[in-house]
Chains A and B, each alone.
Chain A
Amino acid sequence: MADRSLVDRGGTPTGPHLTGDAAPPAGGALAAYRALLGAQARSQTAYRTSFVVDLVGNVGSTVFDVVAVVVIFGVARELGGFALGEALVIVGLTTSAFAVADLLVGNIERLPRYVRTGLFDAVLVRPLGTLPQLLLMDLPLRKVSRAVFGTAVLVAAVGSAGIEWTAARAVLVVVAPLAGVVFFGSLFVATATVSFWWVDSGELANSVTYGGRDFTSYPVTVFGGWFRAVFAYGLGFAFVSYHPALALLGRADPLGLPNWVGWAAPAVALPAAAVAGAAWRTGVRHYRSTGS
């Protein structure tokens, strides 16, 4: 008889434990994350009809964001010095970036629930990163429809704005929304992290994330004073869609910043991601020292 041990580890009982000592194979974590994603996809599509209904229903709120801007132009010819077509480029950049970030990272706002239900503890006893596990295990695939709609808005707006295409602008129209995804994603993570310290912080987090999205849907010229200074340049929202839109449209900034600022989106997004990552690690450390 070979081995009576129930959990045959493939070694002698006294020898080194394979599982404990062997380093995981390279790329193993990626395969694990892919498996988690697959499981989430199968779970969510288990009820096909309800998934389709969710998928359609989820477009709704994003549609309203766009409609809100169009409605304003029904009563005003210009908004902060921008015509409807130009403003829609700003809206498209914001909507596409926000919708994709919301799809990928947005559910992290449910962190208090993960803590309450013990999912967070379960994630801590697995050999993978906490944040990617939580994101993949609760990825709201029904929000795919929003991401598609947001991207469609961007494509339509850019297509009809009469942009003189250059190679640089072609790169920018791809890079700017991607940087926006990173920026909004960081915003989701950083604000969710607050609930490690303060469990009932849900509305505060929403006011920052959704407020940030609404702020970036309009030309920053419509805002004024300290409000603009803090949100547009202090927190960097102006670099997500306003300045990239100026660069795409070939317009000079009414506020006088140079044109190259339109390419600064990644330079704002990456530090934002670093800050969010640090906030997350600090939050996890706090959780482990307090257990709440």
Chain B
Amino acid sequence: MSSDVIVADGLRKEFTVRVRTGRLRRQKRLVTAVDGIDLRVARGEMLGYIGPNGAGKSTTLKILTGVLMPSAGQVRVCGLRPVAQRTRLALSVGVVFGQRSQLWWDLPLRDSFDLLRHVYRVPAAAHASRLRRCRDLLDLDAFLDVPVRQLSLGQRMRGELTAALLHGPQVLFLDEPTIGLDVVSKQAVRGFLAELGRGGDTTLVLTTHDLADIERLCRRLVVIDHGRVVHDGSIAALHRRYGSRRLVVADLDAPPPVPPVVPGAALRRVEADGHRLVFALESAGVAEVVTALAGLGGLRDVSVVEPEIEDVVARLYGERRSVRPSRRC
């Protein structure tokens, strides 16, 4: 047995959609939501799973959690077949759907936690110690006795995270856990998940549209589009592959008479009436560029801007736009 907690080979999922083509006529159309995904996730890994809307992120998550049956392909999560061994798998995984709640709306948060203890048949001591830790890390105490419907979105999400972890899952699936949250709540959620990942024991699969989540939490990034994996690797590898560059921004006392040439770096932009120069690093390092700029004289300030992952991903999505997602049948 491998140490991989998630093993998926050639995962496919097709839906038949009926499209109205006339007053009474409807045409069946086969939509491929997941189109041959291979995925291996090792224990303790924190995986960012991103893609544009409709790329197949949620469908993949539903297949991995046993909600949906794949049309083709093999899948094992914690060594179990998700659909056939649904209830056993449920004891080993936790799921947070950002836009749905698994808490009891009219009951105090505390009651939901107590109920989940029964639902997952968790021994009282284990339940209590996990809850205590979540209460500390997520500051739940202030609203533990408030009915869920009265919680703010940020408070509710902290409750959802706790609810998903009280049975001590090996894998935590998070479908857009920071969607709609304010900055402070996002930070709280990210900080908590980072802490969770530090234990090295819980595997985390996270879908998101907020790439800051990924940058903060995930060393590995899987980008899917039209149901296919278009990138699987580190964020640095993504930058390398798509040629995103670090930028060096230099503020000068006076605009230089001629645009300066720095070996190994390209002048991207000139801003602030020529007082600010923006270089993109190619072969040169930051130090070389700064040295060269210092030679110009009148260098007031220098800053380094890391490449924006948003830009890279936007480029990545755009590249594949021309592929048709569906075919008729």
Binding site for B on A (CB under 8 A): 4-10, 13, 17-20, 24-25, 28, 31-32, 34-36, 39, 42-44, 46, 117-119, 121-122, 124-128, 285, 288-292
* C-alpha spacing A39/B111, complex, angstroms: 8
Q: Give every chain A residue within 8 A of B99 (Cβ-Cβ).
A: 118
Q: Give every chain B residue within 8 A of A4 (Cβ-Cβ).
A: 198-199
* C-alpha spacing A125/B65, complex, angstroms: 7
Task: Determine if B102 is an interface residue (Cβ-Cβ < 8 Å).
Answer: yes
Contact across chains for B165 and A291 when beta carbons are under 8 A apart: no
Q: Give every chain A residue within 8 A of B134 (Cβ-Cβ).
A: 6
* C-alpha spacing A32/B118, complex, angstroms: 5
With A17-B92, A19-B168 known as contacts, the answer to whether A6 contacts B87 (CB < 8 A) is no
Contact across chains for B62 and A19 when beta carbons are under 8 A apart: no
Contact across chains for A8 and B67 when beta carbons are under 8 A apart: no
Contact across chains for B67 and A288 when beta carbons are under 8 A apart: yes
- The closest CB in chain A to the CB of B199 belongs to A5
Q: Give every chain B residue within 8 A of A10 (Cβ-Cβ).
A: 123, 126, 168
- The closest CB in chain B to the CB of A129 belongs to B87
Name the contact of A20 in the complex, choosing from B91, B118, B121, B198 (C-beta under 8 A).
B91
Q: Give every chain B residue within 8 A of A289 (Cβ-Cβ).
A: 68-69, 71
Q: Give every chain A residue within 8 A of B120 (Cβ-Cβ).
A: 19, 126-127
B186–chain A nearest beta-carbon distance, Å: 19
- Contacting A at CB under 8 A, from B184-214, are 195-196, 198-202
A2–chain B nearest beta-carbon distance, Å: 10
Q: Give every chain A residue within 8 A of B71 (Cβ-Cβ).
A: 289
Q: Give every chain B residue within 8 A of A8 (Cβ-Cβ).
A: 126, 129-130, 133, 168
Q: How many A-B residue pairs have CB under 8 A?
A: 141
Task: Determine if B90 is an interface residue (Cβ-Cβ < 8 Å).
Answer: yes
Contact across chains for B100 and A118 when beta carbons are under 8 A apart: yes
Task: Determine if B51 is an interface residue (Cβ-Cβ < 8 Å).
Answer: no
* C-alpha spacing A48/B123, complex, angstroms: 33
* C-alpha spacing A247/B112, complex, angstroms: 49
Name the contact of B107 in the complex, choosing from A28, A39, A121 (C-beta under 8 A).
A39
Q: Give every chain A residue within 8 A of B122 (Cβ-Cβ).
A: 19
Contact across chains for B90 and A127 when beta carbons are under 8 A apart: yes
Binding site for A on B (CB under 8 A): 13, 15-16, 59, 62, 65-69, 71, 78, 83, 86-88, 90-93, 95, 97, 99-100, 102, 104-107, 111, 114-115, 118-123, 126, 129-130, 133-134, 137, 147, 165, 167-170, 195-196, 198-202
Contact across chains for B90 and A42 when beta carbons are under 8 A apart: no
Q: Give every chain B residue within 8 A of A122 (Cβ-Cβ).
A: 95, 97, 100, 102
Name the contact of A128 in the complex, choosing from B87, B102, B168 (C-beta under 8 A).
B87
Contact across chains for A20 and B170 when beta carbons are under 8 A apart: yes
Contact across chains for B200 and A6 when beta carbons are under 8 A apart: no
B62–chain A nearest beta-carbon distance, Å: 7
* Closest 10 pairs (CB-CB, A-B): A35-B118, A20-B92, A5-B199, A118-B100, A43-B106, A127-B90, A28-B121, A127-B87, A288-B69, A9-B168
- The closest CB in chain A to the CB of B86 belongs to A124
- What are 6 contact pairs spanning A and B, CB under 8 A? A9-B168, A19-B170, A125-B93, A126-B119, A128-B119, A291-B68
- The closest CB in chain A to the CB of B79 belongs to A20
Q: Give every chain A residue within 8 A of B105 (Cβ-Cβ).
A: 43
Q: Give every chain A residue within 8 A of B92 (Cβ-Cβ).
A: 17, 19-20
* C-alpha spacing A68/B156, complex, angstroms: 49
Contact across chains for A31 and B106 when beta carbons are under 8 A apart: no
A281–chain B nearest beta-carbon distance, Å: 12
Contact across chains for A7 and B169 when beta carbons are under 8 A apart: yes
B83–chain A nearest beta-carbon distance, Å: 6
- The closest CB in chain A to the CB of B192 belongs to A6
* C-alpha spacing A17/B119, complex, angstroms: 18
Contact across chains for A20 and B100 when beta carbons are under 8 A apart: no
Apart from the given pairs A6-B130, A6-B137, 6 other A-B contacts in the complex at a CB distance below 8 Å:
A39-B107, A42-B107, A122-B102, A127-B91, A288-B83, A290-B16
Q: Give every chain B residue within 8 A of A291 (Cβ-Cβ).
A: 13, 15, 59, 62, 67-68
- The closest CB in chain A to the CB of B17 belongs to A292
A271–chain B nearest beta-carbon distance, Å: 27
- The closest CB in chain B to the CB of A18 belongs to B168
* C-alpha spacing A34/B114, complex, angstroms: 13
Q: Give every chain B residue within 8 A of A31 (Cβ-Cβ).
A: 118, 121
Q: Give every chain A residue within 8 A of B202 (Cβ-Cβ).
A: 5-7
B187–chain A nearest beta-carbon distance, Å: 17
A66–chain B nearest beta-carbon distance, Å: 33
Q: Give every chain B residue within 8 A of A126 (Cβ-Cβ).
A: 90, 119-120
Q: Give every chain A residue within 8 A of B15 (Cβ-Cβ).
A: 290-292
Contact across chains for A127 and B119 when beta carbons are under 8 A apart: yes
Contact across chains for B170 and A117 when beta carbons are under 8 A apart: no
Q: Give every chain B residue within 8 A of A24 (Cβ-Cβ).
A: 91, 121
With A24-B121, A122-B100, A288-B69 known as contacts, the answer to whether A7 contacts B90 (CB < 8 A) is no
* C-alpha spacing A90/B247, complex, angstroms: 85
Most chain B beta carbons < 10 A, residue from A19, A24, A34, A285: A19
